[in-house]
Chains A and B, each alone.
Chain A
Amino acid sequence: MYFHYCGIPILIFFCERVKIYRRNNAISHNKLLFQCFYNRCSAPAYHLILEGILILWIIRLLFSKTYKLQERSDLTEKEKEELIEEWQPEPLVPLVSKDHPSLSYDVVTGPPSHRIIVNGKECINFASFNFLGLLDSERVKLKALSSLKKYGVGTCGPRGFYGTFDVHLELEERLAKFMRTEEAIIYSYGFATIASAIPAYSKRGDIVFVDEAACFSIQKGLQASRSFVKYFKHNDMEDLERLLKEQEIEDQKNPRKARVIRRFIVVEGLYINAADICPLPELVKLKYKYKVRIFLEESMSFGVLGEHGRGVTEHFGVNIDDIDLISANMENALASIGGFCCGRSFVIDHQRLSGQGYCFSASLPPMLASAAIEALNIMEEDPGNNIYIHKNKCILPSSLIYGGFCRTPGLKTVGEPLTPALHLQLENSTGSRTNDLKLLRAIVDYSLDRQIALTLARYLDKEERFLPPPSIRVVVTVEQTQEEMEKAAQCIREAAVKILK
């Protein structure tokens, strides 16, 4: 195309030159230049003009842009308006059917303590994570009340801007002392704790090895970190080692890059979704072998496992300094609100400027911090005794509780004997999650009618990375007596026989 257009003038130009040259043929070589100039002057005016135009044309062609084969297809304003007119967005939210299983919540009237009134029926609570029964403790309540009288309810600011109260500092110090770590940091929301802690350290390009059964807040933390996530099979150390080895080989290919990629293993001490304990000693071995840091989420195990209730590290006798970061919420065993992270100052202090849920959120109401301090006091009072294990051992061996639930036909118990929250799953699934949930809900309703408050473990089906099978979660606390537990086990058995046929 280009040559097609510019070729014609070039052709004309050369014809002109040749004509002039021929006319000057007879002239000797050294006179050529002069002759050329002379000829130019004597040439007719139209020649000069024509040549001038041609030269300008060539220059223009040389510097002008090449032609585009296609014409620009910019939309006109009218077309744009039409597009805008035509566009129909999806509704903001899809319509929820009225009989959606989780649309109508169970309503609790009165305190959510050991004896709980659910949907108007008084029941024994086998659903709340009130492991140590501290929710009903008069001492905790009075401490919270006196704190309320001093500080009011809200903090009206984030920690940085006059939202730090002396009780926050006290609670952080107490938690650090209790866990025997250098430093602790508190968050105002349990869920936000590990979800903020992970992205404070692990950034884009870093690698996190995570157990498949990790809870939702870990998953959200990983998503916020934008790191590269590798899931290993639940509690399967061989699978983890396989992934670590793979990474090692990868690192050898590009050692420069490997030197800046941080690696983390994120595990739960006691899995809320699987009700079993992580093999911490093996994890620590892998940590030093492959130089990976360990983040441990202990919301379920804090206050429950270990001789003093310090969690999985104490349970296994692992040196707590070998774990880089421990996070737990204060909403289960401590029966307050919020969460904390603890570890070495080198690690923890970084969150004070980088933990999003710490920096950008209002701080924990001081009365809730005071309640947590008092709950810690109660936990520490009896040295050498973890109230959870101690009381349960006095009343009945935990294996008995476990056994009680185990003997239910049609249901299988998931979890280790030590765990405070077991899962009852269907032995034979009907094949559809909705139907399974309906069956389990029927068992829950049956028990509710017989003074046993149970709950289904709820998940966001589409959002969970690995959706656990539907289950009823049974929580064992120190307040339940042997009779109550036997009654509950009996009740579930009856329900299972009746409903599952």
Chain B
Amino acid sequence: LSSTSTMETTNFSVPSAEKVDGFPRRSMRRARQRRSHSSSQFRYQSSQVELTPLPLLKDAPVAELHDLFCKKLQQCCVLFDFLDCVADLKGKEIKRAALNELVESVATSRGVLIEPLYPEAIKMISVNIFRTLPPSENPEFDPEEDEPTLEASWPHLQLVYEFFLRFLESPDFQPSMAKRYIDQKFVLQLLELFDSEDPREREYLKTILHRVYGKLLGLRAYIRKQINNIFLRFIYETEHFNGVAELLEILGSIINGFALPLKAEHKQFLVRVLIPLHTAKSLSIFHAQLAYCVVQFMEKDATVTEFIIRGLLKYWPKTCTQKEVMFLGEIEEILDVIEPSQFIRIQEPLFKQIAACISSPHFQVAERALYFWNNEYILSLIEENCQVILPLVFATLYRVSKEHWNQTIVSLIYNVLKTFMEMNSKLFDDLTASYKLPAAARLWRADRRTLAAGSGVPIATCLGFLFFASSLSHHHLFL
């Protein structure tokens, strides 16, 4: 693992195949750009202590166990340079073994965690995991396309995270003692680590933060507030944060546990943070988690439905079809659990948007919208409100069925029209009959409007004006 980030760059030669087209393949470019780095270097400079192996924990007499545990924790506070993969191998091995022992001890034996060990354990964890994350190797890092930079010191870091997790999950863990050491500052630094590019690290952080949230009640409001700040910064300032999906996943389960009626703080979070998150450029990375959170809110309290749908309609993507498909997916998830009384409140604006999607020239957008009619619950809602919905979508369906380039879409529309016909044949016939006439009338009106907008006057006047203008300009020429 460490070899990936210590790759030599100096002697990298361009393969002959690359010279042919002059366009290096993406992977090549990445390999070339890869350079050794880690922000952690900054702190390596000071500490270089020789480690000596300590006796094994399992061999220690009970009386000395805690003392030895403490010594091992202190030993694990020494940091190593993983960018140089051959540096101090012995020390690295000793620390690795010690960490393994600590993990095992916390996980399996009871009565290890006594009060004096808390500050030592938290100190060891802080020293190891808290660091300024390095600048991204690739300034235009695209989480979907590019390989993430992996943390070089993962062999140790993983064990520290593992230890932290076991520590929190241990039956001996006492929140009342831990809260003195796991404080707001600690949590803030923990949250900053979610920006790590390494998905393994974020995975650990997710579980750990979840446990912290579960066990340390006094920190809950603070954690929620800081997550809010991270999201707001992500939406309105930087548009860059690697851990949005993980934080949303935690929030999903937090929302699940909200008490009813919802507090103003939580509603504000929905309206001012979750909904605007939909505007992010990198929505696709965390959309599933975001949609889950949104649906959770609805299931908690149906009255937020209107907020949510109107919010989504406000931020509806105007040019990005990929995002439009995601929005449609989310709408379907929402409609899946919507209460009929809420549905009535938003059906009009919603189905205007759906009609617009059906007429999208991008077949995936149209297709995704038409799939709504395959959903039995949605279909039942449509049927109940056929009088309102059919007039909203009819003209679009009729027109698109005649002119869409994609055959799948055309046949899907025929199915939808058929469904409507079966639902309410009277209304359907009325609309069909009246469609052609207003279509012609619309054209005529549009024509008249453009004429009026173009000249604002009848043709005869226009001619007169032309001659008037020409005589004026004639005048100008002589001037």
Chain A bound to chain B = no
Question: Which residues of A are in contact with B by a Cβ distance under 8 Å?
Answer: none
Question: Which residues of B are in contact with A by a Cβ distance under 8 Å?
Answer: none
